[in-house]
Amino acid sequence: MSHELSGASSVYSIKEQLKRVDETFLNKDIKKNKAEVAFAISLKSKIVSQNWDNVQSNLAKALRSILNNADPHFRVIVAGHEKPNIKELRHERVTWLPVNFPPPSNPKGFSKDKIRKRKVIGAYLRKIGFSGYFMPFDSDDWAHHRLVQYIRSQPSGKDFVIDTGMMVNLVNKEVWSRKKFYKGCGSGAIFYFANKDFPLTPETNSVKKKPFKLVLRAHPKVIQNLRALHRPYKIVKLPLVTWVLGHGDNNSIIKGKINKSVSAENYGSKGEKLEDTFFHYYKTMKNQS
C-alpha cells in the first residue's frame, strides 16, 4: 500500500481526506488476499426503538453503503427480533437471522442484547464453514466504498483498529474527522477468525476461550484486548467508516452518553457542512453505485 493519511489529518478538508483514500487505490497493482469480509449487524428490537421507521431507514442506508463497496467479496449478516420491511435485506449478499430470546426491557440492556445477537451470527458463520474477516457493524453507521478493498489489500491474518473515522450529526448537517475513532464507535475494528474460532452455538461458554471473545468485549478497549491475546493488528488512519448521529434512535444518545447537539468542537476537530459530495465516498443513496 502507498501512504495513508498522517496523524494530522485535521490539516486536510473532509473532501481532501476522502479523495486521498481513493488515490491510494487508483492506478496501482493492488494485491488481494483471498479472505472474505463478514459484516455482523445486531439490530435493535422494535419494542425498544424510539421510532421503528427510523431504525429501518438507518439499516437500509447502512446496508447500501456496504453493498456499494468496490470489492464484492463480502457478506452481511443481520440478527434481530423483528425483520424490517426493506428491500436491502433481500439482496443476495445479505442474510437475516431471527432471534428468539426476549428483547431488552430498557436501554441498560442494549449492550447485552447486541452481544447475544453477535453470538448468533458467530454460530451461523461456524455452521456454514466461514473463515475470514469479521466486522461488527452498527446498523446506523456507513461504510466507505473502499472499505472491503482496503481490508483485502492487506496481508491476511491481521486484525484492524480504525483510528481515524468520520462523524456526522444529521441534525446539524455537520461532518468532521475524529481520532481514536474506535473508542466511540462500535464499527471501529475488524478481526480475522478461522472457522474454529467461532462459537458452536450462541449459548456456549466455550467462546470465552476463543479469539471470538474479542467481539464480545467493550470496543473502547480493543487495543488492550488484542495485546492481551498477542494478536497482530494494524492501526488504520484512513477514514473508512462514518459514525452517524442525530437520526433519532442512537443508543449512545438514548443512554445519555452523547448529547444530540454533539459537534466537531466536542472532539477538538473542525466541522464542515455535510454536502452531497460526501456521498460519492459513502454510497448510502438509493440507486447509487
Domains of the chain: 31-162+181-241 (3.90.550.10)
- Name the more confident of 252 and 135: 135
| Beta-carbon contacts of residue 11 (< 8 Å; ≥ 6 apart) | none
Q: Is the dihedral of CA 9, 10, 13, 18 positive or negative?
A: positive
Q: Residue 47's CB: how many other CB atoms inside 10 A?
A: 12
Q: Look at residue 8 and tell me whether its pLDDT is greater than 50.
A: no
Please report the pLDDT score of residue 10 as a whole number: 53
Q: How confident is the model at residue 246 (pLDDT cuts 50, 70, 90)?
A: confident
Task: Give CA–CA dist 108/50, Å, rounded.
Answer: 15
Task: Give CA–CA dist 21/36, Å, rounded.
Answer: 21
Average pLDDT score over the chain: 89
Residues 84-142 pLDDT 10s: 999 999 999 999 999 999 999 887 888 899 999 999 999 999 999 999 999 999 999 99
Name the DSSP class of 39: E
Task: Give CA–CA dist 286/283, Å, rounded.
Answer: 8
- What integer is the mean pLDDT of 10-14? 78
Please, which residues bridge with residue 178 across strands? 165
User: Is 76:115 a contact under the CB 8 Å cutoff?
Assistant: no
What beta strand segments (E) does the chain contain?
Answer: 36-42, 74-80, 94-98, 132-136, 142-143, 159-162, 164-169, 174-179, 189-193, 233-236, 241-245, 272-273
Q: Look at residue 250 and tell me whether its pLDDT is greater than 70.
A: no
Residue type at position 272:
E
Please report the pLDDT score of residue 201 as a whole number: 92
Residues 27-46 pLDDT 10s: 666 777 889 999 999 999 99
Task: Give CA–CA dist 40/97, Å, rounded.
Answer: 11
Cell numbers standing for residue 198: 467461532
| Interstrand relation of 36-42 and 132-136 (parallel, antiparallel or unpaired) | parallel
- Name the more confident of 240 and 287: 240
